[in-house]
A and B are shown apart, each in its own frame.
Chain A
Amino acid sequence: MEFLELLSPAFFLLAAAGAIIGIVFGAIPGMTATMAVAVCLPLTYTLGLQEGLALLLGLYVGGISGGLVPAILLNIPGTPSSITTTFDGYPMAQRGEAERALKICIVASLVGGVFSALVLFFFAPVLADFAIKFSYVEKFLMIFFALTVIASLSKNIVMGVFSGLLGVLLSLIGSYDVSDGGNGEYRLMLPFMEPYLAFGFSLLPVLIGLFGISTIIEEAEKGAKESSQEDKVNLTKGKPFRFSVFKGQVGNLLRSSSIGTFIGMLPGIGGSAASILAYTQQKNLSKQPHKMGTGEPEGLVASESANNGLTGGALIPLLSLGIPGDSTTAVLIGAFTLQGLQVGPLFIGENIDTWYSMITALMFANVVMFVVMFYAIRYIAKVVLIPKFILYPIIVMMCTVGAYAINYGIMFDVWTLFIFGVAGWIFTKIGIEVAPLVIGFILGGSAEVYFVKSLESYGEYTVLFTKSPIAMVLWGLIVLSIVVSFMIHKKSKQHSGESK
């Protein structure tokens, strides 16, 4: 229990502060948990490892949870994962039951968050122990599998694969690092770029640009209009909240939390898929499916327990395999690198104290989220009214600080922010999907090292297929993910054809 010595009052204070700031971010329409983590990264530069992680994990939990506030009050999902919360939350708010709806969601969020933290605690070390046995071949196939899963769940499979590969290509810009067994030569750039791009684009400015600056540009394009629905915020006119509303919802809570955690484990899919799947499942199993979507608490329970279940789930592949589960954990990987830590199969074993403190921070952040939101929801609800003209310039300013400080004062990182901000805005318009691109960018460098090393060691292509039973199982999973995705896409096309 040596880790207890690492848990200072500052640790708990920062986890709580992270949860509160995250809630505020999540509650503002258009702001996401990813953005909260990205914007607050500069605060962690001078913090110790435990404190920095406590703050970031608090932001993650708070950011995901905060999204329920505008979903219920304004019918605008604060984060993509709150989309299904609007289905039943907003009708309840219209009936004057906004506070009841918010509190149902807060309790469901707590259950989902704690459930997924427990799964993370028990499952990640097992997966990491297993992954230690992986050679370069299996590691490469694991990355390949992650990319196929992400691509297959994109709106368009071919475009998803293209986006992932584009991310891989962007990650290869720079020198072929000697420390990775490379020859130190530059590639994929013109000679005048060599002083700036010797080590390629830095991860965090790329992520902050894609998620932060591009959102601002999108909003500017739409005119940065303020939500004109303040008058609809009515918290307590109708039925009050009672815990008895959860009577008969235990199955729903556990099932939806499990769905959220499982979806979180699959790389790059995100909370919206988790909450949609949990909501659909509940609708299929509900005694009154026709009532869902008209303001039924069971819909809220399904949606919110699933999207908070995602938090622990998305950390499982990150901490055991080094593969981020969603865009927020992709930013977290940058934070780990900043602290000199490499996530992967050896992470938990070699940093057992950090591991325990992370679980503590995650659990504590969930409790803080619950206490703060449950008892102060009336005040938090006002956050949705912060005008965009105050907020957006501050976001750009914070993004700039984060990008500049990431490598201790490189101005090119700030320009990277702008380049990828504009690129992210254009990407969404031409159908390039940002999630596979980001995962490709993060994993591209490792994919190259593992792929080239495998071939250099064995001198034949077939080793990628026949190296070990694990390799064959991974190929089976890769083929399965592609086949399943084609079937899903075919089915959804048929459905849309029938509905037309």
Chain B
Amino acid sequence: MFDWFISLNSVTIDFDTSHQFFPRIIITLLLVLGSLILLANIRPVWRAMRSGRYQFFVRNADFFRLLVTLVLIPVYFWSMDAIGEELPNMGLGFLLASIPFVFLMSMLYCHERTRRNVTIITANAVIAPTVVWGVLYHLFLVSMP
């Protein structure tokens, strides 16, 4: 019996599988805690969802702006890379993708598209990326696509 207790305490980590040792402990703990959280919260959350007290999106969520933001950002990243591949080692991927991105995102978030605001947005879309590109890429030699 005593030997059995002693054997529980001893541990040998096989080098070939050592990369799995710690992650397995963490995953086990996460599964245990996850189950506890689910068990403790599933009923109140379900009730709250049915009664409308809990909702994933904020009340009166702006789905249009949210959705376009979630599309615009990855498109910006993709286009930056694509342009950078075509025109490498000049940081032009960043510059040429950022100008339309800043313009479109500003237009998206602008609630009053007056002539004055659109002028500011257009100027900002050209000036801000150009200044960042000029200062960071040329002056500070920061890598850009």
User: Measuring CB to CB, which residues of chain A are less than 8 angstroms from any residue of chain B?
Assistant: 42-43, 45-47, 158-159, 161-162, 165-166, 168-169, 172, 175-176, 182-188, 213, 216-217, 220-226, 387-390, 392-394, 396-398, 400-401, 404-405, 408-409, 411, 414-415, 418, 421-422, 429, 447-448, 451-452, 455-456, 459-462
A404–B73 CB distance below 8 A: no
A452–B11 CB distance below 8 A: no
A46-B142, A222-B62 known; 15 new pairs, CB 8 Å cut-off, are: A169-B23, A182-B19, A183-B16, A186-B19, A187-B23, A217-B69, A220-B62, A220-B66, A220-B69, A223-B65, A393-B109, A401-B136, A459-B10, A460-B9, A462-B9
A225 vs B110: C-alpha distance in the bound complex, in angstroms? 8
- Interface size of B by Cβ–Cβ distance < 8 Å? 65
A392–B105 CB distance below 8 A: yes
CB proximity of A27 to chain B, nearest CB, Å: 19
B101–A393 CB distance below 8 A: yes
Q: A187-B23, A394-B128, A400-B80 are in contact. Are A158 and B36 (CB under 8 A)?
A: yes
CB proximity of A467 to chain B, nearest CB, Å: 14
Q: A172, A226, A397, A418: which contacts B74 (Cβ < 8 A)?
A: A418
A401–B94 CB distance below 8 A: yes
Q: Which A residues touch B109, using CB under 8 A?
A: 220, 224, 388-389, 392-393
CB proximity of A226 to chain B, nearest CB, Å: 7
Q: A42, A184, A387, A422: which contacts B142 (Cβ < 8 A)?
A: A42
A429 vs B56: C-alpha distance in the bound complex, in angstroms? 6
CB proximity of B133 to chain A, nearest CB, Å: 9
A-B contacts at CB below 8 angstroms, number: 175
29 interchain pairs, CB-CB under 8 A: A46-B142, A158-B40, A159-B37, A162-B30, A169-B23, A172-B23, A176-B19, A221-B61, A222-B61, A223-B60, A224-B65, A226-B111, A389-B117, A393-B124, A400-B76, A400-B77, A401-B132, A401-B144, A404-B144, A405-B143, A409-B143, A411-B145, A414-B80, A418-B73, A429-B56, A452-B18, A455-B11, A459-B12, A460-B11
B residues 1-43 near A (Cβ < 8 Å) are 9-13, 15-16, 18-23, 26-27, 29-30, 33-34, 36-37, 40
Q: B65, B70, B102, B117: which contacts A397 (Cβ < 8 A)?
A: B102
A217 vs B73: C-alpha distance in the bound complex, in angstroms? 10
A185 vs B21: C-alpha distance in the bound complex, in angstroms? 12
Q: Give the nearest-CB partner of A440 in chain B.
A: B26
CB proximity of B80 to chain A, nearest CB, Å: 7
Q: Which B residues touch A388, using CB under 8 A?
A: 109
Q: A172, A414, A460: which contacts B22 (Cβ < 8 A)?
A: A172
CB proximity of B54 to chain A, nearest CB, Å: 10
B16–A451 CB distance below 8 A: no
Q: Which B residues touch A46, using CB under 8 A?
A: 140-142
Q: Which A residues touch B107, using CB under 8 A?
A: 389
A389–B132 CB distance below 8 A: no
A222 vs B125: C-alpha distance in the bound complex, in angstroms? 23
A221–B73 CB distance below 8 A: no
B66–A188 CB distance below 8 A: no
Q: Which A residues touch B22, using CB under 8 A?
A: 172, 447-448, 451-452
